[in-house]
Amino acid sequence: MPRHLDVMAGCRSFLPMQTALSVQDIRAQFPALARRHNGHAVAYFDGPGGTQIPRAVAEAMTAYLYHHNANTHWAYPTSRETDAALLAARTTLGDFLNAPADSIVFGPNMTSLTFHVARALGRDWLPGDEVIVTDLDHHANIDPWRDLAAEQDLVIRAVPFDPCTGQLDLTALERALSARTRLVAVGFASNALGTINDVAHVVDLAKAAKALTFVDAVHYAPHVLPDVEALGCDFFACSPYKFYGPHAGVLYGRRALLDRIKVARLVPAPQASPERIETGTLSHEAIVGSAAAVDFLASIGSGAVRRDQLAHAFAALHARAATQIRHLWHGLACLPHVTLHGPGPDNARTPTVAFTVDGYTSESVSAQLADQGLFLSHGDFYAWTVVQRLGIEGLVRAGCACYTTDEEVERLISAIKTLR
């Protein structure tokens, strides 16, 4: 099995140990789960668009704002405390991605960070140089490269996916590589269909062609513990608001690249990486909250150090979500008015299921389910090309998160059954 597809790799040694927190213990930490709608308990299946926040994350942000709020690099206590908090957050996010703290860049969201890095890289590229993107990706990992190509006469090569299976055509990707390829932009997991791509293989192919890799892990990182060191990619981006944190973006960049890429920057701003990549004053509270989200995830598991705790937690969450998604998939597959899209439950995938219902728009399905307290997103989720290739108006998307219960999955299947 390819190393990245074995999502339990590195987690096995944790399984026999002390059990991870139960779903009820986890749920008790999320105030949002007390919400009711139309007399129904709300079930949040909208995690792929953004998860709910545990109390500890909101409290860490509030504590920062109440007691340490300042700008950076000054000589008084709150400023020094802010510097320390940001450094600690880089260490924590480094543990999460298995990367050194000084390779972690913060930003407002993944999209802004990608535009920023694309512009910087493009300053060293020539007309006719090539960038590979994929049709399976969220447009945050397509349009920054297309924009750059339009400005600098670069060539974009788009790799297709199979609309029946939701799998990326890796042979086409290999064929698209050439001596002119400067970068391969690839998603680790599809936020529309849940497919997990063989990104380790893509990185190996890109390296052989001397091309850089920019991995969009926004939909992957909430479900599989990332390991950028093992992956060997050049850039790796994720968004804490998809894994129980606040709205922010996090970018890992290989240190040598962070030091030398020609980012747009203010002359008096810090010159050393990773700060040289960051622009203006960031949301310090969101950075603190992002680290708190990683600590929340670690608290679900057990182990001697944070990385071990995270590995244990992800192994337990993965096992639970895989069972739920299998049940959801089979529960929907037997409904004649429902079409499932993307890879089946036996493939490497996230716990995200996309479907359409005959005779209804995706928005009307979502609205009808919302009436029953079931919150699901609809549309293209900015994976616009995916929806185009499927030839449909939009998808309804159900995502399992750490707080999803088996009963909620059952409620969802029953509610979809009655849509006819």
Contact 131, 182 (CB under 8 A): yes
- In angstroms, give the least distance from the CB of 180 to ligand PLP: 26
Closest CA to 128 of 154, 148, 157, 156: 154
Q: What's the closest the beta carbon of residue 235 comes to ligand PLP, in angstroms? A: 13
Residues contacting 164, CB < 8 A, separation 6+: none
CA distance 233 to 251: 12
Q: Residues for the chain: how many in total?
A: 420
Nearest approach in angstroms of CB 403 to ligand PLP is 19
* Nearer of residues 116 and 306 to ligand PLP, judged by Cβ: 116
Hey, what are 289's tokens?
A: 């909250």
Give how far Cα 156 sits from Cα of 131, 143, 184, 185, Å: 5, 10, 10, 10
Of residues 249 and 373, the one with the C-beta less far from ligand PLP: 249
Indicate the residue among 218 and 365 with the shorter CB distance to ligand PLP. Answer: 218
The residue among 140 and 297 lying less far from ligand PLP, judged by its C-beta, is 140
Phi, psi of 225 (to 5 degrees): -60, 120
The residues, any chain, with a CB within 8 Å of residue 366's CB and separated by 6 or more, are: 376, 377, 378, 396
List interacting residues with ligand PLP (CB under 6 A): 109-111, 138, 140, 187, 191, 216, 218-219, 239, 249
CB of 309 to ligand PLP, least distance (A): 25
- Residue 75: C-alpha distances to residues 70, 86, 288 (Å): 11, 16, 20
- Residue in this structure with the two tokens 């429902």, named with its chain if needed: 338
98/239 with CB nearer ligand PLP: 239
Closest CA to 211 of 99, 132, 154, 105: 132
Closer of 54 and 222 to ligand PLP (Cβ): 222
Q: From the CB of 187, what's the least distance to ligand PLP, in Å?
A: 6
Q: DSSP string of 81-125?
A: HHHHHHHHHHHHHHHHHTS-GGGEEEES-HHHHHHHHHHHHHTT-
65 closest CA partner among 248, 284, 293, 287 = 284
Which of the 8 DSSP states describes residue 37?
E
The nearer residue to ligand PLP, 142 or 300, going by C-beta atoms, is 142
- Using the minimum distance from each CB to ligand PLP, give the nearer residue, 106 or 314: 106
226 vs 373 by CB, closer to ligand PLP: 226
The distance of closest approach from Cβ of residue 363 to ligand PLP in the complex, given in angstroms and rounded to an integer, is 18
Find the shortest distance in angstroms from Cβ 267 to ligand PLP.
28
- Residue 238 CB, nearest distance to ligand PLP (Å)? 8
**Shortest reach from residue 129's CB to ligand PLP, in Å:** 24
- Paired residues of 341 in beta bridges: 354
DSSP 338-383: EEEES--TTSSB-SEEEEEETTS-HHHHHHHHHHTTEE-EEE-TT-
